[in-house]
Copies of this chain bind each other. A is one copy, B any other.
Amino acid sequence: MNRIGGSITLTLFGASHDSRIGCVIDGIPAGYPVNEDIITADLALRKPAEGIGTPRVEADVPEISGIVDGITTGCPVVITFSNSNTRSSDYEQLRRIPRPGHADYPAVCKFGPAHDIRGGGMFSGRMTTPLVAAGALLRDLIGSAGISVGSYVTRIGSVVDMNVYDVADIMTRSRTNPLRAMSPEIEERMRAEILSAKSKGDSVGGIVRCFAAGLPAGLGEPFFDNLDGEIAKAVFAIPGVKAVGFGEGFAAAGLRGSENNDAYRFFENSVVTTTNHAGGVLGGMSNGSVLDFSAAFKPTPSISKQQMSVDLVSQEDADLSVKGRHDPCIANRGAIVVEAMTVFTLADLAARGGFLV
């Protein structure tokens, strides 16, 4: 289904080269003021960066309906974007010779000749534009419950940022550069890594670490709609994500209980944990600590380097060098999408758990 959520739902529509793409957000309380500046700011962080991003640039001006005088009415909110900068002719060959690592082959198997291959169709990164707008639109909603979401890029290819940062810092500093890096020095190294791959007609992967501060303890619905599961489902919907881990993530497997458990203490009359190995999630519910998870993006599958594929018409092996306009790295642009899906999921779970009021 092209829909996600329980009390607040998001329905995505359109495809990469459709005239319009967008989403319907249902379940936002009436009377909620929509701040378009936040939407503009978040969309800017999704745009391809000069030099390291795809040459396809869209205006990304959201058209928002379902609000009157900037306020939601209780109707669904619809956000749409027009697609103008499309070059569909780049893609026709891919129906026949699918790109390795891309959705082309399974999509043709699933949808047959009717599959819209233009620009990757519904599997294009372009589809994340309405997601970012939806997340941005909901930031103030979770904000009214004291929750804020941010992220930064901890890895691009071989460049790994091992530093420890303050959460408040992450919320602001990573928004100042298109690499979503926490320092100019790391930004520079990450940029170089991307350019190195690009120069060889190749691409590179990366890791986004996402945080949510201010969560009330008890957010998340047992048994199946729990906090980590709902976040994971939402984040795996983002094209290119291959792994999600909370707190220690896979490293937890190597720890002892006495190392991994987060001790409780009272601090200024509140219960806090002295560490956050759990990433803020226990038993599928927030424990009141900062939600902290990482998501891995694979390297962009569309590369100009020659690859081995097959010709589905002639039923023979075939080689392919992908044309079209593609990012050599999507992790940095993906960071704001991870944030958006996180904001959406927290808004929905807050609504379901009675944390909004």
Contacts and interface: CB of A to CB of B under 8 A. Distances in A.
Contacts of A212: none
Interface in A113-135: 113-116, 118, 121-123, 127
A87 interface: no
A297 interface: yes
- Chain A interface residue number, banded: 35 or more
A285 B114 contact: no
A296 interface: yes
A221 interface: yes
A115 B69 CA distance: 11
Interface string A72-108: 1111101000000000000000000011111111110
Number of copies: 4
Given A9-B1, A233-B233, A75 B260 contact: no
Interface string A230-272: 1011111101011111111111111111111111111001010
Interface string A299-333: 11111010111101001110000000000000100
Q: Is the contact region of chain A dominated by helix, strand, or loop, or is it mixed?
A: mixed
A274 interface: yes
A357 interface: yes
A205 to B, nearest CB: 4
B24 A106 contact: no
A26 B2 contact: yes
A56 interface: no
Interface stretch (A36-44, A176-184, A275-283): A275-283
Contacts of A214: none
Contacts of A66: 13-15, 18
Interface stretch (A139-147, A164-172, A196-204): A196-204
A162 to B, nearest CB: 14
A271 B317 CA distance: 9
A351 to B, nearest CB: 9
Most chain-B Cβ atoms within 10 A of its Cβ — which of A221, A223, A310? A223
Interface string A1-15: 111101101011111
B31 A113 contact: yes
A287 B230 contact: no
A286 interface: yes
26 contacts: A2-B76, A11-B24, A13-B65, A18-B75, A73-B116, A74-B222, A75-B116, A99-B261, A100-B262, A100-B264, A105-B271, A127-B223, A157-B253, A205-B253, A207-B250, A229-B234, A230-B233, A242-B247, A243-B244, A243-B249, A250-B250, A250-B294, A253-B298, A255-B298, A260-B298, A261-B303
